[in-house]
Amino acid sequence: MSESEFDRQRRNMKIGLTLSIIFTVLLTAFSGVLIYFEKTGKPLFAGSDSTNDSLFADAQSTELVDEAAAEAEKKRKRKAAKKAAKNYRDPVDMEKQYPIIEADGPIDFYPKSFMTVIGTWGFGSYSYIEEDAVNYMSAMNDLAERMKGKATVYNMPIPLSSSIKIPDAHWQALSSTQQGVAIGKILDLGSDQVRQVQVYNTLMQHRLEPVYFHTDHHWTARGAYYAYAHFCKRAGMKPNKLKSYRKETTEGYLGYYAAMTKDPDLVNNPDKVTVYYPHAHATITTTKKTTDGGTTWQDDLVVEPRPDYAAAFIHGDNAFSDIENTEMKNGKNCVIVKDSFGNAFAPFLVDHYKHVYVADFRYCEMTIPQIVEQYDVQDIIFAINITNLRTGSVIGQLVQMMR
């Protein structure tokens, strides 16, 4: 090996050793810097504190602007939906193909009570009377105009089981007015100030389900639920899902049709009564019309599992009831102007209002304007079966209550 080659190797070794030492020193120094900034919490690569604050503020400001824009868009959509709901006429669709109910069992007529029994189902007849419908809706239109800016009026005429549950092949057996057509006429008489809640189509879509009792003229809580869900859509609210409720069922209920006809096919096949409990806790204060001016009592059960429609829902038919959602601090109030069909409907509204006032027009001595003023009501809901809307004396009571 030559002298010059040996010198070159030694020089390269020195250079390599020097570079190794420099790299080790830099690595140690950088590790120390990392440990320092980790302990002090200061940013490693950043400008001054004011610069950091400015950058953070800009980012936060941008985020707030985005949130405000998103919230504004939500409000715009809600406002548009409510406007659309207000202007929607909610027509009856008589041409739609609904589920078919097959004929089941013999037909028995009970002309004295205007009832028909087909198989294990009892049905009542119905006839539309134009004059009564015009008087009723004229009074409601006038009420809605006077309540403008104070409360919204909703009209929900309720069909009977003879329209929804009767076997398709036996419709002519009742010699009855087609209730879907009648409801369409009643709703068409309403002004633009009256919000229509047309539940005929909804109930027809669910007609294969137990939406009415077969020994009684009332709808079941399940039928009332579907009406409630449709009302929520018309009112701009989100209904609870049926499966979300806690429910209880009792057996052995024999209703009005069984009592009036004594038909063995009804008597030997009693109904089941199912109640659905509101999600929120509520108390009900009820005033019953009596000869001494009225008796008031309070309970914390809005529904009870009993084999009796009258006992199962809001303690039956009473002059005036106040159902208070005790879990809601602030909220709207509504009043349901009803006959007995409204009893199964009222409990579903508990989760959406602070107070659900229930006024039975047959017994309540207050007028609707008085109720609105005294109880700060924002929504007025008429929930009445159409049999009562073709009876002159009943229309007279309703007209008087709307003055």
pLDDT in tens, 10-69: 666 666 666 666 666 666 666 665 555 555 555 554 444 554 555 455 555 666 667 777
User: Residue 71 has what pLDDT?
Assistant: 76
Q: What is the mean pLDDT of the segment spanning 75-80? A: 61
Asked whether the beta carbons of 125 and 354 are under 8 A apart, the reply is: no
Q: Within 10 A of 296 (CB to CB), how many other CB atoms are there?
A: 13
Name the least confident of 72-81, 158-167, 253-262. Answer: 72-81
Name the least confident of 64-78, 190-204, 291-305. Answer: 64-78
Q: What is the mean pLDDT of the segment spanning 123-137? A: 95
User: Residue 171 has what pLDDT?
Assistant: 80
User: Residue 3 has what pLDDT?
Assistant: 52
User: Residue 147 has what pLDDT?
Assistant: 97
C-alpha–C-alpha distance, residues 128 and 177, integer Å: 6
Asked whether the beta carbons of 344 and 213 are under 8 A apart, the reply is: no
C-alpha–C-alpha distance, residues 346 and 344, integer Å: 6
C-alpha–C-alpha distance, residues 150 and 193, integer Å: 12
Q: Within 10 A of 232 (CB to CB), how many other CB atoms are there?
A: 17
pLDDT tops 70 at residue 305: yes
Q: Which helix or strand (DSSP H or E) is residue 14 part of?
A: helix 3-40
DSSP for 247-309, written as a single string: EEEEEEE--HHHHHH--HHHHTS-EEEEEEE-SS-EEEEEEE--TTS-EEEEES-SB---SSH
User: Residue 42 has what pLDDT?
Assistant: 52
Q: What is the mean pLDDT of the segment spanning 182-193? A: 96
In this structure, what token pair is assigned to residue 329?
């601090």
Q: Of 219, 214, 221, which Cα lies nearest the Cα of 255?
A: 214
Q: Within 10 A of 126 (CB to CB), how many other CB atoms are there?
A: 21
Q: Of 371, 373, 391, which Cα lies nearest the Cα of 381?
A: 371
User: Residue 169 has what pLDDT?
Assistant: 86
Asked whether the beta carbons of 189 and 137 are under 8 A apart, the reply is: yes
Q: Which helix or strand (DSSP H or E) is residue 57 part of?
A: helix 49-87
Q: Quote the percentage of the chain above a pLDDT of 90.
A: 67
Top pLDDT among 38 and 172 is at: 172
C-alpha–C-alpha distance, residues 277 and 385, integer Å: 23
C-alpha–C-alpha distance, residues 189 and 143, integer Å: 14
DSSP 103: -
User: Residue 1 has what pLDDT?
Assistant: 44
Asked whether the beta carbons of 311 and 339 are under 8 A apart, the reply is: no
DSSP SS3 for 58: helix
pLDDT band at 381 (very low <50, low <70, confident <90, very high): very high
DSSP SS3 for 236: coil
First to last CA, the chain: 125
Asked whether the beta carbons of 186 and 143 are under 8 A apart, the reply is: no
User: Residue 174 has what pLDDT?
Assistant: 76
pTM: 0.78
User: Residue 157 has what pLDDT?
Assistant: 98
In tens, the pLDDT along 216-234 reads 999 999 999 999 999 999 9
Helical spans, DSSP H, in 88-199: 130-146, 161-164, 179-188
Q: What is the mean pLDDT of the segment spanning 341-364? A: 97
DSSP 366: S
C-alpha–C-alpha distance, residues 139 and 122, integer Å: 33
C-alpha–C-alpha distance, residues 335 and 346, integer Å: 9
Domain ranges for the chain: 88-402
Name the least confident of 74-88, 139-153, 294-308. Answer: 74-88
